[in-house]
Structure 1
Amino acid sequence: MRERYASGITDDTAEKMVDLLNSNLANLIDLSMDSKQCHWNLQGTGFIGVHQLLDDTYERLTEAYDTVAERIVILGGKANGISKRVVEDSVLETYPTDITEVDQHVRELTNRYKKIAEELRKAIDTAGEAGDEDTADLFTEVSRIIDKDAWFIGANAPKK
């Protein structure tokens, strides 16, 4: 590990948090790429509204994973955001490339947001139990963003 800029936590805790942060970094980068896949390929009723919404959600995702990566460095680690690591470490399955309709993409992307929200909640608990409240707070902040964007995206799904 490199020099740490966060004090008040042990080296062991810092290392555990770096691993936890890196796994969530992979998830967030993967989700951002999935949102772009959706953005580029959706068609049908409601296209323009969802297309524009995904520009906004992508921007929030990139800000979120940038903050996660910065926390990794603050804790003395190295952020691993290279594509091979993202593929290896993300909890998400490969985004389907055979869908085009807005409602299909909205359902798929909303489910992916919910999966990442679930992982973030686990990370909040893990960081809190480890005594790193700053990292837990960061995960809480990101979780709020993911929940809100899941709602924004999911609200575009046709009612059953």
Structure 2
Amino acid sequence: MNANKIGLEEKKIKPVVDQLNDLLANYHIHYQKLRGCHWNVKGSHFFTLHIKFEELYTNAQQTIDELAERILTLGKPPHSTFADYIANSVIKEVNTIGVKDIELVKFILDDFSKLIEIEREIMDTTAEVGDDGTNDMINKFMQFKEKNTWMLRAFCGEN
């Protein structure tokens, strides 16, 4: 067995690293979208959403750092160019200028849905290869988005 520095088999961990790099790419696009929402929100919900979007992009920034550091912990380099992020992300950029506040929230809800889907796939892979450290980290990220999905859907008057 060819194990990395933390005892995980190189061949088995490669799919995890690839998935983490894809998640990292998606988080970068999501992060920038949150920044745009924060900067460009207008209307009667300005104060509420301005603060919420800042909370969410601060969390996304921390998540990005944790993802990159986990990839490095697994012995591989994280993606680090916008070309990589755009090429590997299922989340797409949007123009947030002039968009109604509720539509901005729906952009974020859509991102959360895609990120949760990716995270569930990663958790399946990490469970198969015995990578409990990555599994725990991803589970924490997913729980944050699940709770905030509920809150943002309630804000929009949805179930």
Q: What TM-score results when the alignment is normalised by the length of structure 1?
A: 0.88
Partner of 1:153: 152
Q: How does 1:27-66 map to 2 (within 5 A)?
A: 27-66=26-65
Q: Give the equivalent residue in structure 1 for 2:18.
A: 19
Number of the residue aligned with 2:5:
5
Counting aligned pairs with the same residue, the percent is 25
Aligned match of 1:88: 87
Q: Which whole-Å CA distance do the structure 1 matches of 2:152 and 2:69 have between them? A: 27
Amino acid at match of 2:106: R
- 1:128-143 maps to which residues of 2 (within 5 A)? 128-143=127-142
Structure 2 residues without counterparts, runs of 5 or longer:
none
Separation of aligned partners in 2, 1:91 and 1:97 = 18
- Contact 1:50–1:156 (8 Å) recurs in 2: no
What are structure 1's unaligned runs of at least 5 residues?
A: none
Q: Residues of 1 paired with 2:36 and 2:68: CA distance?
A: 23
Aligned residues: 157
| RMSD, aligned CA | 2.0
Q: What amino acid is the match of 1:71?
A: R
Deviation at 1:131, TM superposition (A): 2.1
Distance, in Å, in 2 between the alignment partners of 1:122 and 1:79 is: 19
Counterpart-to-counterpart distance in 2, 1:58 and 1:139: 17
Give the aligned partner of residue 105 of structure 2.
Answer: 106
TM-score normalised per structure 2: 0.88
